[in-house]
Amino acid sequence: MNESDFDQLAEDTMVAIEEAIDDCGVDIDYDTAGGILTLEFSNGSQIIINKQAPLTQIWVAARSGGFHFDFDADAECWRLQGGGEELFSCLGRYCSEQAGEEVVLK
């Protein structure tokens, strides 16, 4: 994947995450600055999501740890490095842990 394709795909994913947060029904604030998406919860905790162009990955930093996601072209989704769980499923779990209530991101 070239850098231009990665940038567009990662940007589209960031927008999709924002829309999923808006639609999830849980009070989660978010802010985007400099390609970094910050989710903030009522307890003051945060999840930081950013794109790593040199590695063509999306990185997520949550209370439970740091996670790297690669794009799976066959499935057309981001997966936990090594072919693991899909990004939105993971984010839903991380958000649920930090929000103290179930968060489903689609």
Task: Establish if 106 belongs to a structural domain.
Answer: no
Task: Establish if 46 belongs to a structural domain.
Answer: yes
Task: Establish if 104 belongs to a structural domain.
Answer: no
Structural domain for 26, as ranges = 3-99
* 29 three-state secondary structure: strand
Which CATH number is 84's domain given? 3.30.920.10
Q: What is the pTM of this model?
A: 0.93
Q: How many residues does the chain have?
A: 106
Q: Which residues pair with 13 in a beta bridge?
A: none
- The per-residue DSSP string of 27-38 comes to -EEEEEETTEEE
Helix 87-99 to helix 3-23 angle (10° resolution) is: 40
Question: pLDDT for 81-106, tens place per residue?
Answer: 986 899 999 999 999 999 999 999 98
Question: pLDDT for 2-27, tens place per residue?
Answer: 889 999 999 999 999 999 999 999 99
Task: Establish if 54 belongs to a structural domain.
Answer: yes
| CB proximity list for 2: less than 8 A, separation 6 or greater | none
Task: Establish if 95 belongs to a structural domain.
Answer: yes
Task: Establish if 105 belongs to a structural domain.
Answer: no
- Report the number of distinct structural domains present in the chain: 1
Is the Cβ–Cβ distance between 105 and 92 less than 8 Å?
yes
